[in-house]
Structure 1
Amino acid sequence: MERKKHSSSNQRRQQKHHERIQNSFDNEESDEQSTSIRNVQQPNLQGDYLNIAILLFLYLLQGIPIGLISGVPLLLLNHGIGYSQQAIFSFAIWPFSCKLLWAPIVDSVYSSRFGRRKSWMIPAQYLIGAFMIIISYCLDSMINAIDGPNIYLLTAMFLILNFLAATQDIAVDGWALTMLKPWNVGYASTCNTVGQTSGYFLGYVVFLILESPRFANYFRDEPQTEGLVSLHGFFFFWGIVFIVATTMVMIFKREKPSVHENGEENMSIRQTYSRLIQIMKLGPVQNFAAVLLTCKIGFAITDAATGLKLKEAGLPMDHIALMAIPMLPLQMILPWIIGRYTNGPRPLDVFLRAYPFRLIFCFIFAGLLWWTRTLYDRYSYFPLYYYVVLIILYALHQITVYSMYVAIMAFHAKISDPSIGGTYMTLLNTITNLGGNWPTTLALWLIDYISLSYCSIDGSKCTLTTTKNDENDSCIANGGGGGGKCTLWLDGYYIETFIFTIIGIIWYFWGRKQINRLQTISTKQWLCPNTLSQQRHNS
């Protein structure tokens, strides 16, 4: 349910923008400089409208693969893919959480003649376009295979696609710093948020709606079993868009030379990785990493499988996609509202207040799933009041999600070493994303193994067995001429909800002590050793 957030780039740009303004104040020597600084604080988009439009479109393209990767699991449910196989496919979302591993290479290796950012962005986008066109011809055969979808091949293909999109993200994030005028750099994060959200909306919501036969039949005289678009057609279309757009940018948009304003921009690959190792050796960072890597275990199954389970219970796929529409304005407004309460010296207090409520929602959504199944079994459709309750619950859940997210991001900004702010922030955000990815993958993988069902032959019960596909096939084969029927007796979603929530409650009492202690640590203890040495030398 929680859409993954890729915010390290936003924080990196905001940090650099803040450093530019702060350095300007530190070097203020005359009234003329003061006037210049005041102008910097008042952005003026004159001359940057085209650059804003280009950035928005580049980030929109980046959001398309992210949205598709979020929507494909719902399609796979229609083809008998179990949750353990869904867990395998979930590895396709990992590249954005691991891009720190190759980001220093993208930042340091380039052709000055072609452009520092275009050296990576242009090839990455061409590869995305070509890759989408090529795989569009084999998607149907892979998903509709007689033996079922080839989950390993699908995962590998989408993993490569997401890796290319993450590489494009690194390059575009860096290009935004020089594409926009210095006093407009703050708009880069807005372009990222709006563009990537729009791309995600197209790749997830719009695709699932148009792919749905149920939705398409509203516009047809005779019902059909296919939607207005297919997965392979959608891939082919956006592959062409990627290639055309990349060609236009390569030909008509020149890249300004990078202006190195601090030591971070000048660091080599080796120096960057060395700094990362130094940061990771800091005691407070290691303790905070332990918090970040474990804090989302309690609601892992809720975030990973609730949407899939609602579809399994009968909620139409296009209705699940339409749920994202009323959530968009809320997701745009919430960070601004919550930000008022995270700007103080203890931003993680908001995190601790929201945590118990998010755990409570684990049980609420388990109840919602049971209610969904009950309503569908009774009516074979969902009344209007069901959707009202569903939207209200999702909206309230988003408040807890964003309260924790914004609080963590605010704490990252508070403790990051300004001399290497971008690298420091990216490292912390990478750990944060990994802390959400591994519990999600684990939770999906466990569902099939702990769900219990019974195999009925001629109406009689048999030995309980797990709901893995191979055992379902065995149940059917052992039924003789009529075949057996494997019926779910106890859904592993409920078992995991109980177990993971208990773990979350235990974590809360441990994590609260750790977080309260981390918020009292002196700022100097978070600084990189090189920065501390420089401060001592200057003093």
Structure 2
Amino acid sequence: MRSARTPKEPMAVTSSLNSIHISPRTPKTPRPNNMGDDEDDVELTLLNEDERVRSARNFLDDESSVSEAEHDMKPTISAKDRRGMVLLCVLYLLQGIPLGLALGSVPFLLKEHLSYSQLATFALSSYPYSLKLLWSPIVDSIFFKSFGRRKSWIVPMQIIVGSLMMYISFNVKRLMEDPAHNVIELTTVFTMLVTFSATQDIAVDGWALTLLSHDCLSYASTCQTIGLNTGFFASFTVFLAFNSEAFAAKWGVPHLTLAGYLRFWSIVCFVVTLWLIIFKKEDKEPANDADMSIKGVYRTIWTICQLRHVQLLVVVHLFAKVGFAANDAATGLKLVEKGFKREDLAIVVLIDFPFQIMGGWLAAKWSRGDRPLRPWIYAFWPRLVFALIAAFIVYFFPKPPIPMSFFVLLIIHTVLSSFASTVQFVGISAFHTRVSDPLIGGTYMTLLNTFTNMGGTWPKWFVLKGIDLFSVATCEVPQAAVHIKATECVSDHGKAACKDIGGKCVTHTDGYYTVTIICLAFGLIFLVAFIIPTARKLQRLPTSVWRVKMS
């Protein structure tokens, strides 16, 4: 294990525009600054009137031919870039498997046994994915040079993740039989799983900046979308469908247990890691005199955070997702609570999956122009509208069996809502890839992605807690005038007490709707007043102002 050497008196400073060379699309002849525009005037005065006109016409013809030639050139993807994209998709897939379990299927399995407050405790297991910036400098600075800067972390992290999934598979029955008494252990185990997956993500993000050519960097976010979404949905919807005994009996497919699913992906993780060790050689990065020690990278992070435009982007990220936080965190759980079957949910999302992939590809293309944040900004409006529609869907959800017309409405809503979400995810990821400095790629990408993830993570705990806080429910016992204090039938203790006396909890005020209104109101105001003008300002900045140099 090595750490890059530390030069004498290192200092991280913001680079000037002149310190980074950016090749223009159309070659232009430089001229000394002290001559100004007088040089052209002198040259033209040596020609007579006809010669000047002819010279100007020839110059315009040359410019036009160059422009037409550039227009006719179509970007091609090399075989090396295609192989790199496949590898990135696979690595992000392995990252999406544990995330789909921790953020998706396991909360659904626990919903029948835990209150929203207890689910909020389990939701803490997703926080490491949003806090990986804290240890990303270690990943960027310490590595085995002979083995590869990124492989030095990807390989051990995937081995640990595979081992943890194997461990959980052998203990899942004990943990899930009585989850109310094992919430802490479940949270701890899945927190570890997400932590090591997040560490793998730091290395993969950094590798993406050098694994793909400069012209294909915008497709790194597409690979992330395809890989993460495939892994997430495999662990969320596909698993929930095959884990349902009703679904297995209806379609004649084997019943899939959580233990069996974890063992399968544990083996896949080991196989891919073995292939990386034996067959994939990481290209050596060019030598440089930058301070890549742990201390130096942390200092660079501080320098980046001091940039005014980075601070504006951080504020945008931290509050951008509040508007649809209630929809993302609780709508699915509310639908299941209303009687929506897990196998029906799986069918809806399986139909939605191809549209997610298409949305990721289109967003990558839309983000390649001079306004890379445009698709990200536009997608805010449909996401807010769909969050409001989701609340109406929950409110008017019919008693099972669900009519086909309502089921079709759910499919259309899910497809359109997910499409908008994917466009936002890929759009902002493409922007991060575009402005990140490859020298500290893992750390720079992680810095920007951390605040994006944190913006979607931190509201979740407050949303789930707020649902219980604003809910009003009483315990009603048939043929008896017995009532328990309203809040007692919201907490886990109150529900258990009501069940012990043969009662039934009746909700009079559902806190889900109150939290949804609060989130939507804040999201709309913040979007119009801050996000839109700030994002338009940030995307007009040249790439060079986002770079730092370490000397």
Q: Among residues 467, 472, 475, which one is paired with 1:447 in the alignment? A: 467
Match of 1:129 in 2: 162
2:206–2:443 Cα contact (<8 Å) kept: no
**1:157: Cα distance to partner?**
0.7
1:454–1:461 Cα contact (<8 Å) kept: no
Alignment of 1:21-60 (within 5 A): 22=23, 42-45=76-79, 55-60=88-93
Comparing 433-442 with 50-59, which one deviates more in the overlay? 50-59
Comparing 174-183 with 483-492, which one deviates more in the overlay? 174-183
**1:424: Cα distance to partner?**
3.9
Match of 2:38 in 1: none
Please tell me whether residue 233 in structure 1 is matched to residue 255 in structure 2. Answer: no
**1:308: Cα distance to partner?**
0.9
CA distance in 2, matches of 1:21, 1:279: 20
Match of 1:464 in 2: 486
Q: Among residues 138, 141, 144, which one is paired with 1:111 in the alignment? A: 144
**1:502: Cα distance to partner?**
2.2
**1:470: Cα distance to partner?**
0.7
Match of 1:288 in 2: 313
**1:144: Cα distance to partner?**
0.8
Match of 2:229 in 1: 197
2:121–2:187 Cα contact (<8 Å) kept: yes
CA distance in 2, matches of 1:216, 1:440: 32
Match of 2:380, SS? helix
Q: Among residues 238, 248, 254, which one is paired with 1:206 in the alignment? A: 238
Aligned-partner residue type, residue 204 of structure 1: F
Q: Among residues 155, 162, 172, which one is paired with 2:194 in the alignment? A: 162
Cα 1:352–1:219 change in 2 (3 A) is: closer
CA distance in 2, matches of 1:450, 1:107: 45
Q: Among residues 287, 295, 304, which one is paired with 1:270 in the alignment? A: 295
Aligned-partner residue type, residue 431 of structure 1: F
Please tell me whether residue 508 in structure 1 is matched to residue 527 in structure 2. Answer: yes
Aligned-partner residue type, residue 106 of structure 2: V
CA distance in 2, matches of 1:170, 1:88: 25
Cα 1:282–1:60 change in 2 (3 A) is: closer
Deviations along 1:307-351, one digit per CA (max 9) or x if unpaired, are 111111111112212222222222222244456665565555655
Where do 5+ consecutive residues of structure 1 fail to align?
1-18, 29-37, 222-226, 535-539
Alignment of 1:171-182 (within 5 A): 171-175=203-207
Deviations along 1:7-33, one digit per CA (max 9) or x if unpaired, are xxxxxxxxxxxx9995999999xxxxx
Aligned-partner residue type, residue 273 of structure 1: Y
Please tell me whether residue 138 in structure 1 is matched to residue 171 in structure 2. Answer: yes
1:121–1:172 Cα contact (<8 Å) kept: yes
Match of 1:436 in 2: 456
Aligned-partner residue type, residue 393 of structure 1: H
**What percentage of aligned pairs have identical amino acids?**
37
**1:215: Cα distance to partner?**
0.5
Where do 5+ consecutive residues of structure 2 fail to align?
1-19, 30-71
Please tell me whether residue 330 in structure 1 is matched to residue 350 in structure 2. Answer: no
Aligned-partner residue type, residue 493 of structure 2: D
Match of 1:76 in 2: 110
Aligned-partner residue type, residue 444 of structure 1: L
Match of 1:454, SS? strand
Comparing 90-99 with 383-392, which one deviates more in the overlay? 90-99
1:448–1:468 Cα contact (<8 Å) kept: yes
CA distance in 2, matches of 1:517, 1:209: 42
CA distance in 2, matches of 1:65, 1:347: 30
CA distance in 2, matches of 1:165, 1:52: 19
CA distance in 1, matches of 2:153, 2:432: 28
CA distance in 1, matches of 2:513, 2:188: 30
**1:249: Cα distance to partner?**
3.6
CA distance in 1, matches of 2:73, 2:371: 32
CA distance in 1, matches of 2:346, 2:425: 23
CA distance in 1, matches of 2:309, 2:211: 36
**1:154: Cα distance to partner?**
0.9
Q: Among residues 353, 363, 387, which one is paired with 2:407 in the alignment? A: 387
2:222–2:361 Cα contact (<8 Å) kept: no
1:301–1:497 Cα contact (<8 Å) kept: yes
CA distance in 2, matches of 1:59, 1:159: 18
Match of 2:167, SS? helix
Cα 1:27–1:118 change in 2 (3 A) is: farther
TM-score, normalised relative to structure 2 = 0.76
Deviations along 1:378-436, one digit per CA (max 9) or x if unpaired, are xx311221221111112222344345445544654676668767644432221111111
Match of 1:370 in 2: 395
CA distance in 2, matches of 1:23, 1:208: 51
1:143–1:149 Cα contact (<8 Å) kept: no
Please tell me whether residue 246 in structure 1 is matched to residue 273 in structure 2. Answer: yes
**1:206: Cα distance to partner?**
2.1
Match of 1:315 in 2: 340
Match of 1:488 in 2: 507
Deviations along 1:180-216, one digit per CA (max 9) or x if unpaired, are 7899877765544433333223222221111111111
CA distance in 1, matches of 2:74, 2:364: 23
Match of 2:33 in 1: none
Comparing 308-317 with 351-360, which one deviates more in the overlay? 351-360
Cα 1:23–1:239 change in 2 (3 A) is: farther
CA distance in 2, matches of 1:512, 1:54: 34
**1:520: Cα distance to partner?**
8.7
Comparing 307-316 with 255-264, which one deviates more in the overlay? 255-264
Match of 1:62 in 2: 95
Larger radius of gyration: 2
Match of 1:10 in 2: none
**1:68: Cα distance to partner?**
1.6
Root-mean-square deviation (CA), in Å? 3.8
Cα 1:209–1:26 change in 2 (3 A) is: farther
Match of 2:384 in 1: 359
Aligned-partner residue type, residue 231 of structure 2: G
**1:86: Cα distance to partner?**
1.5
Q: How many residues align?
A: 486
Please tell me whether residue 260 in structure 1 is matched to residue 282 in structure 2. Answer: no
1:346–1:519 Cα contact (<8 Å) kept: no
**1:467: Cα distance to partner?**
0.8
1:351–1:404 Cα contact (<8 Å) kept: yes
CA distance in 1, matches of 2:220, 2:532: 37
Cα 1:291–1:453 change in 2 (3 A) is: same
Cα 1:23–1:507 change in 2 (3 A) is: closer
CA distance in 2, matches of 1:258, 1:106: 16
Match of 1:323, SS? helix
Aligned-partner residue type, residue 452 of structure 1: V
Cα 1:183–1:284 change in 2 (3 A) is: closer
1:351–1:407 Cα contact (<8 Å) kept: yes
2:209–2:217 Cα contact (<8 Å) kept: yes
